Each structure stands twice: as structure tokens, then as C-alpha cells.
Structure 1
């Protein structure tokens, strides 16, 4: 269908996807000059009136939704026997492809994606629309990392990964809820179950239930308990694990009752990754159980005597503890006093040294290392070790730590080296070269470096659409943490429009030249076997004055005159029995064409013998014949004959 125009407006450019129910094309809206996605119902369903009716009603219902995380539906229609839906064109990949490329996602990234999906589901549920087929295949991720949910109320693709009950598709087997597997009543909680399964896959890289057949997988949804996500990926916080476990409960009443409550826990877990998200009842089935503390009041007492003895014992123990602590404090005070006296009086008296000989260590933190080194060197301390560390909050050359505490007395001889930790200032980050790379990967890596990111889109002839053209600051530049790096992303070559010239009435050569001058190409020609260069163009597609992209092909339709035309043949006249003729012979050729039936002489000349044989042109009427008579020297030469 590529190249076809639907509804005199949507030009199909290329196929970009498809499922059991429909095919999806990238198209250009000629009216608004923008790209759109066109979902076309497969031909095998177009004769099912009930299916087509449901296709249109559900598409119109989904079109009522307006949310930044929902793929917008612009139009619904049909052209001849082609039924289609016009949707927002999302330049990105599915969440399923993203997980397949990256494997398990970082839990924060997974939660942020889930928040966007849950917000879309919340909006749909408020409008009384249940998706019934939430899965990573139906989530599109844009180049900016925005998640968009598609196929609201429409996704019923018949494939090996779906189960059909009572004539209607229930959902995709790896992601649908136990009630869907049983063919029971589905409601908003069924969407939240599927979203929980999708979050499970994002953080672990695999679905919780898998088997060789769809039926076996469905039974696992009904009967089996999933392996807790943090047993597969120990890096998942318990809060995220608990949220997933709650979302995929078998019992609908034990799941999140609404998308709003699900959203609240998702926002909360970003701040409290190890918070409590399950009640005791909800956590009983999980392998991590919370055990109540033992309450001594619950133990049986045996009589007033035991109670009284217990009180007396506790009172005695309390008095003993007071005595012990009083004695310990007194001893410490005495030891401190004697230490001070011994250090300041007795030791100098014995060694002959006085307090004034000691250098008292000061607090040098937040001072310049060069200044402090000069002070210490002047006091006789040469052994100074410097350890440099990057520090985003302290400028270069400032001391952040010292090995010897403030107030410590030192002597210039026999001391251990003094060690200072000195700031090297903020660590500069060298920006990698991301040219031609996926902006998602660039964005993720830059953020791990502590940098902020921003996106700018522009046309590029040399860089593929959706890839990074350059960065600002440029590649290999060194910047401070927190710097915003702008990623310039390719929109592909600039779409240049031109008006289709009129080529009606021109020959093939003239039409080709006219189209080339308008930067257009010659498409198909009808009929293909143009026999003459004089046939004129009768029609063209696209029509004259239509605005289309440069380089587009224009199909040409020629008006060919099919009436048969007269033809001319060359009859070769040979001379036999030449001896009976002189050196020159008078030759006369008479013809009678069938269209006029009037004899006419077409040749009357003298010829030398040496000029024989020679050709005589004879006209044959269209669809007719010509009688020929030849005379040599006035005598009939051959019996009258007919051509052709």
C-alpha cells in the first residue's frame, strides 16, 4: 500500500509495524504537512461487519482521551474497503524493545516509566475506559524518554501470545490477569495487574510466568506464586519489591483498588525505597515476613508471690547499677586529674622540658595548604603528607581534613608525619563524543556523571533521524558537575516541498524534463509500452499544483491513439529474361488501393538494365490491401498481384 493516499489526505510512506489485527504505516498528512501513524485493519477482517463496527466505536472512544502519556487519535475513516485510524506518530521504540536492548532497568528508571504509564491508565479509568491489554509492546518511548500508551480499547490482535474466549480476545498471555485467564469479569484492577507484570519485567529483565504454550502460562497466572523480584535482582529495594507483589495479587480485592493509589506508592517509593508498602496480611504470602515483638504482659504470672519477688529483684538491681556508675565516674575523674598533673608537672620535671617547648596543633581545616605548610615548616615540622581529593563544595588548595587533632602538643623531633587532605576542587568531567549515538544512552550516561541534559532537534543530511548530531558543550570539553549538556538530535533531512507542475498534453520527453525541473521524479507510466514519441499525457498523479516533498515520484498516464494507420512497404522489382529487353527499359507501376478502389500510377520511369533490381514504395491502406500491376516497355510484366 506504500504510496497510496487515503481519504485524499494521508500519503502512506512506509510500513512501521503490525499485529494480528492491523498494519501500521508512517504517513504524511498533506493538509497539515506533518507525519502521522495510520493503523489499517487487515483485509481478512473487513468483511466482518460486527468487527468493523467494534473497531470504529472503540477507536472513537479512545479518541476521547487526552493525556501526554497516551498516543492521540486524530481521525477514523475508511476509503473504499480500507478501514483506518489516524494516530499521533511517535518517533521512538517500544518498551519491550528497550528492555530487550538494555536488560534489567535501573529501579528508579523503571519506576519513573511506570509512573507515566499509570498516569495514563488513571486518565483512561476516569473516562470509564479499561485498556485490557497493557504490556511493554503497547508502550512507546520517545527520544525524550516519555512513555506513551497506545491501543486503548483496540488491542485485540489475534496471535500465538493471546487467548480468545467466547469469540473475543482477552489479552496478551504473559501480562493478563488471573480473571482474564479464567474468562471472568475484568475491571480497572486487571489493568493494574498487567502494569505490575510490566514493572516486574522492567526491573528483572524477565516475565514472572513463562511456559511453552499460552494455556500453560495462563494456568500459572491462576495458580502459581511469582518469584519475588528482589530474589532475581538483589539491587531492587524492598519497597519496589512490595509494590510489585501487591499489584500482581491473584485476588482482585488485595491489589491496588485504583490507579491513583498505585501512583501514590510509586511516587513515595522514590523517596522511601525501603519503606513499608505491605500490611501484615498482604505480606504473609511473601517470603519476607514481619514478626511481632514478644509482649511480656502476655505471659502467664503464677501468683502474687512471684510478682512481689520480681519487683524486689528489680529494685535491688536498680540500686546496684546506681552504685556502680557512681564509682566508675569518680574513678575516671581521679584518673584524668592525675594524668593532667603528671603530664604538665611531673613529666617536665623529670625530663627537664617545659610546656613552652611543645608546639600545640591548631585547627587548619578551611585554610590554604601553602599558608599552613609555611607555619609548620617555620616551627620545625618538615614531614608533611598531602592527600588530594576532588571536592565539589571546596575550592582547590583548601584543607578539608587533618590527621592530628586540634590542641595536640607536638615536638619537632620524633613526630609522625602530619597528614592533610586537600581539595582539588570540583572534578571536571570530559564530555564523550556522542555523534550518531542513541540519545537515550547519551542521556543516561551523562546523568550518571552528575550532568544535566537538554534536547534540541534540528535537520541533518548526514546523521540518521533520531541520532545525536553534536553536543553543547562540545565533545572532549571538560565541565563542572551539574552543567547542562544540550543534545542536538537529528530530525533527518529537511522536508522540502514543491508544487507539482502540470504535464497534461506534453510528450513523454517534455513531461520528464518538466518534472526534473521541479525536483520530482518520473514514477510509473501507463500504459507501459508507449510506442511513439508523440503520445500525449492525459492524466497525472499527484495532480498539478499539489504540494509534495521534493524527490517524490509522479505517475504519468498517456492518451494513445489505437486506430490503425496506413503503412508503406518496399516492393523489390527483379528483371528476368533480360535478353529480350534493350539497354534501357520503361518501367510503369500501377496500384489500386482498397480504400479508394481507384487505379493510380505510382512509378513511370526508364531504367537501365544495370539498375535492376530496385525498390518501389507501395502504400497499403489501414486494414486493407493494394492491387499491383507492373509494365515493362508497355507490356504486362507480371500477373496482377495483391499486397500484403
Structure 2
């Protein structure tokens, strides 16, 4: 390496090898020698900012101080870096455009559920906002697809009152939807039909429509006559036939201990403005048959 110097006798300046040196540490000596410095700053991934990468005049060259002298340096600006803007809560399409303007690669979009940011908007980025990265860095945009939608099974609401159905729907994270008939308060009605149907898998928080039938439910006592005719266990079956459907169905079927009699037969349906025929069988023999009329019920 030739040490730069200015000889008072010869009035000459000997150019050093400046490559790899810090520009700011060398520039004062050159300017004191009245040498015009031409700066060419470029990005360089391998050097620190201010490092001289090349020079236009060969080391060891001599400048006569009486004339015009210049030297051009190519100087490192360090790695080219861009700052990631804060794109949170902006539409993803706007975020993609903004990043394409500062990066050499297109950003990658990753979808995630979010309880905070609406669907189609940016949750955050990686690298994070305000970080400085190289232009060829792949930036990930985390795109909200809205809250995670959980699912549940629709419970069977048949025969439930409005308040019972509402409580059961709440337990399953569902809501009460439309009520039918629309012109009737559900009051003492019972659910006859529901949409969606019981057992269906649906998204939580959806509404279930309820169709009510306005039926009175009554209880009647039943006394065991001639208990000596029966064993300790008595097969007890209760059939009902309602006038609105004229269909017969079993509402009670159990082996009842003789000692449990008399018993109450509960939840016997009597349709609005109609009647219900009730038949009670003991050990497969008809032991009681009565008609319950809507108009005569309290």
C-alpha cells in the first residue's frame, strides 16, 4: 500500500489504495489537497455503509497540485433495505399493491380466523410492520377470514314449551327463529315441528324456526282394581288417539311395581278444540278407556 502524501518540494499528491476503507475517514485529506471527489453511492449486500468499493485513479498515481485533479469513488450504501409499512386493518388488495411497489417479489397471503379484523382485511404481516428487509424478501400477509365458525347439533325440541325450547337452543349455542303460527303467542303451545330438524349439524348462532301446536297436556290418576290378579310387576301401556290426526300412539310403556299403584298418567295431549281417547292396558288387557274433551278441561 502506498501511503498518500503531498511533497512540498514536488507539489505532488500520491494516490493511495482506498478500496475497503471508510470514505468519511479519507475524504478530508483529499479535499485538503484540492482534489475534486466524485461520489457514486450504490447498494452492496456485503459491505457496511460508507465502504469504498472502487476508485477511478490507480493507487500510486501522482497528481500535480498545479492543475485540476479529481477522483471518483464507488461507495457502498450497505444492503438495500425497505421498511415494511403497517398494513393492519387495510383491505388485502390494497396491502398487496403497497408491498409490490417496494418489493421485488409478490407477497404471500395466508388466511387465518380473526375475532377482531373483518374478512378480507389484513391482520398483520411477517416480517412485522416497520422492520427493514431486503427487497427480495418474501413478505407474508395474514388475511382475516372472519371469526372461526363452530358447529353444533340441533337438539330435538318436539313437545317442548317455548321457554324450554329457548333454553335448550341456548345450551347448543343456537337462537330462536321465526314462530308459527305467526299470529299466535306460543303461550301454552308445544313444539310440533322445527327447522332445521333435530340431529342436523349446523353452524353455531343460527336461528331455528319453531312450529307450535296448541295442545293442553293433562294428567289422570289410575287406580289398580283387583290387585290379586297381578304379579309383582305389571306391564302398563297407555295409548292415545287425538282428534286432530286420528293417529294412535303410545305415550307410556313400563313395568310398574304393584306397590306403586295408584299412578298418574302424565302429559296426555288434548288438541285445541278437539278430544283425545285414552286407553290403558295392564298385561296386554284393556282396563280403562276414557275421552278427554278440550272444552271440558280447565
| TM bracket (short chain) | 0.5 to 0.7
Q: How does 1:130-209 map to 2 (within 5 A)?
A: none
Aligned equivalent of 1:477, options 131, 135, 150? 131
Shift in Å, 1:527: 1.2
- CA offsets, 1:555-601, max 9 Å, x none? 11112233079xxxxxxxxxxxxxxxxxxxxxxxxxxxxxxxxxxxx
- 2-structure distance, mates of 1:532, 1:471: 52
Matches of 2:58 and 2:101 in 1, distance apart? 36
Structure 1 counterpart of 2:273: 563
Q: Does 1:450 align with 2:103?
A: yes
Aligned residue runs from structure 1 range 66-105, under 5 A: none
Indicate the residue corresponding to 2:144 in structure 1: 490
- The Cα offsets for residues 327-372 of structure 1, whole Å up to 9 and x where unpaired, read as xxxxxxxxxxxxxxxxxxxxxxxxxx99x75334355345443564
What is the TM-score when the length of structure 2 is the normalising length?
0.60
Q: By how many angstroms is 1:408 displaced? A: 4.5
Kept in 2, the 8 Å contact 1:365–1:399? The answer is: yes
| Cα offset, 1:460, TM superposition | 0.9
What is the aligned residue count?
Answer: 213
Do structure 1's residue 422 and structure 2's residue 132 form an aligned pair? Answer: no
Deviation by residue 1:130-167 (Cα, 9 ceiling, x = unmatched): xxxxxxxxxxxxxxxxxxxxxxxxxxxxxxxxxxxxxx
The correspondence for 1:391, drawn from 40, 43, 55, is 43
Shift of 1:470: 0.6
Q: Is the 8 A contact 1:390 1:426 kept in 2?
A: no
CA displacement at 1:455 relative to structure 2: 2.3
Q: Measured at CA, do residues 563 and 531 of structure 1 come closer, stay the same or move farther in structure 2, by a change above 3 Å?
A: farther
Contact 1:537/1:558, CA 8 A, preserved across alignment = yes
Shift of 1:397: 2.1
Structure 1 gap ranges (5+): 1-352, 566-620, 624-644
Q: Secondary structure at the match of 2:99?
A: helix
Residue of structure 2 equivalent to 1:536? 190
Indicate conservation of the 8 Å contact 1:537/1:556, yes or no: yes
Gapped regions of structure 2 (runs ≥ 5): 1-7, 215-270, 276-293
Which SS does the other structure have where 2:182 is aligned? coil
**How far does the alpha carbon of each residue in 1:402-423 deviate from its partner, in whole angstroms, 9 at most, with x for none?**
4556664213465445453421
Give the structure, 1 or 2, with the largest relative contact order (CA under 8 Å, sep 6 or more): 2
Offset at 1:375? 7.3
Aligned-partner SS, 1:484? coil
Structure 2 contact 196–209 (Cα < 8 Å) conserved:
yes
Contact 2:92–2:121, Cα closer than 8 Å, also in 1:
yes
Contact between 1:386 and 1:422, CA under 8 Å: does it hold in 2? Answer: no
Instruction: Name the TM-score, length of structure 1 as normaliser.
Output: 0.30
CA distance, structure 1, for counterparts of residue 85 and residue 178 of structure 2: 48
Q: Mapping of 1:499-510 within 5 angstroms?
A: 499-510=153-164
Decide which of 151, 168, 183 is 1:514's aligned counterpart.
168
Match of 1:400 among 28, 48, 53: 53
Task: Output one character per residue of 1:92-136: Cα deviation in whole Å (capped at 9) or x when no partner.
Answer: xxxxxxxxxxxxxxxxxxxxxxxxxxxxxxxxxxxxxxxxxxxxx
CA 1:457 to 1:622, structure 2 compared with 1: closer, same or farther past 3 Å?
closer
Give the superposition deviation at 1:546: 1.7
Encode CA deviations 1:177-213: one digit per residue, 9 max, x unaligned: xxxxxxxxxxxxxxxxxxxxxxxxxxxxxxxxxxxxx
Shift of residue 390, structure 1, vs aligned partner: 4.0
Aligned to 1:381: 33
Let me know the Cα RMSD of the aligned residues: 3.4
More strand, by proportion:
2
Task: Within 5 Å, give how 1:37-76 maps onto structure 2.
Answer: none
Counterpart position of 1:411: 64
Task: Evaluate the alpha carbon distance shift between residue 622 and residue 442 of structure 1 in structure 2; reply closer, same or farther with a 3 A threshold.
Answer: closer
Within 1, Cα distance between the matches of 2:117 and 2:186?
Answer: 45
Structure 2 Cα separation of the partners of residues 389 and 367 of structure 1: 14
Q: CA deviation at 1:490?
A: 0.9
Please report how far the alpha carbon of residue 521 of structure 1 lies from its aligned counterpart in structure 2 after TM superposition. 1.0
Change (3 A) 1:394 1:372: farther
